[in-house]
Structure 1
């Protein structure tokens, strides 16, 4: 975890290229959220596909404690039940539909602004661009992600964004990756980091 985060030092936005179903994805995702000081870290999950209880549970196990605050913005109807086992986020809200990019952007900005005013460290997991692209075209997603990555930088937050490269054309992946400070590729457990 330390080596991964050291190689990403100074990157506010990271593109995480990994198959949607891959061993080690959850561990790397949690490592990217840098749970080395849980009591002073706020974690925001933006989820299109699942409830993040499992990842929060992994985060707590690896960090040895809960984050200062765990907030979830769910776009659409995530898989799983809110009553499933696992630790609960401190707050969870649902944005109308997965294509409501304005609503998602506003809520992310409001949460990060609130945390920034409190002087807390903020980290974000966006899961996933692949799911987002099922609801909007590439250009719309690009514009939305451009705004979102800019807000991460403005609020001093760091975030990573999941993308399954096998689900998209090389042209789409190349277009999306121009938005990010760094890119991580996970291939059968091997992690490669590239700075932009």
Structure 2
């Protein structure tokens, strides 16, 4: 799927966030990356997925989350040995500060030949916290910044948690739209 957009650009994945389909998409879009960044409310599951599903971790992985102790229950993985950084964000972070923090993290990690992927799990949460117009503007600006970095960005949105009208408005922002169910991806 990522080859359809030359492994750069942005993809909207319609799937429940914690599903086999979403996890398969995360693996598919993360496996060829040198640098992976995840913006997530479920950091423990993301590191478990990386550890279990990939032959090897990306050269560097960063997780942005608001969880105070994101890996408190992760005892089955040697996180000290993993190429992993964690940025714990304040729960009251503004949408602008979130974007600035993400770009700053990417600027620190990226080298000119790095294949960069960004997994953005919190699009549904942003739509709950902000109106559609604010979320649309945020994603539009973020996509522009990430395009300049040749990033492959995969946004996850639970279609059953959003009105179809919101999804249709947001689809304009993405190079590719897929529905992920199990091990099957369908372009929309």
| Range of TM-score over shorter length | 0.7 to 0.9
- Deviation per CA, 1:119-142, whole angstroms, max 9, x where unpaired? 422110000211111211111111
Paired residue secondary structure (1:66): coil
On the 8 A contact 1:14/1:183 being kept in 2, the answer is yes
1:66-112 deviations in Å (ceiling 9; x for gaps): 211111111x347x852222353621112223651111111111122
- Mapped to 1, the partners of 2:124 and 2:147 lie a distance apart of 22
Q: Which of 77, 81, 97 is equivalent to 1:103?
A: 97
Tell me if structure 1 keeps the 8 A contact 2:37–2:117: yes
Q: Which residue of 2 aligns with 1:54?
A: 45
Equivalence for 1:82 = 71
Residues 5-14 or 160-169, more deviating: 5-14
Give SS of 1:141's match.
helix
| CA distance, structure 2, for counterparts of residue 145 and residue 191 of structure 1 | 23
Distance in 2 of aligned mates of 1:182 and 1:9: 11
Q: RMSD across aligned C-alpha pairs, in angstroms?
A: 2.3
Q: Give, in angstroms, the shift of residue 21 of structure 1.
A: 4.2
Q: For residues 82 and 61 of structure 1, do their structure 2 counterparts lie closer, same or farther at Cα, with a shift above 3 Å needed?
A: closer
Q: Which ranges in structure 2 are unaligned for 5 or more consecutive residues?
A: none
What is the TM-score when the length of structure 1 is the normalising length? 0.82
TM-score by length of 2: 0.85
Q: Greater relative contact order: 1 or 2 (C-alpha under 8 angstroms, separation 6 or more)?
A: 2
Which residue in 2 is equivalent to 1:5?
2
Runs of 4+ in 1 over 4 A off after TM superposition: none
Kindly indicate whether residue 62 of structure 2 is the aligned counterpart of residue 71 of structure 1. Answer: yes
Distance (Å, rounded) in 1 between the aligned partners of 2:58 and 2:182: 29
Tell me the matched-pair count: 183
Match of 1:15 in 2: 12
* Aligned residues of 2:27 and 2:54 also touching (Cα < 8 A): no
Cα deviation for residue 11 of structure 1 reads 4.3
Q: Which moved more, 1:139-148 or 1:82-91?
A: 82-91
Q: Give the Cα separation in 2 of the matches to 1:98 and 1:176.
A: 24
Query: Contact 1:12–1:158 at 8 Å: present in 2 too?
Result: yes
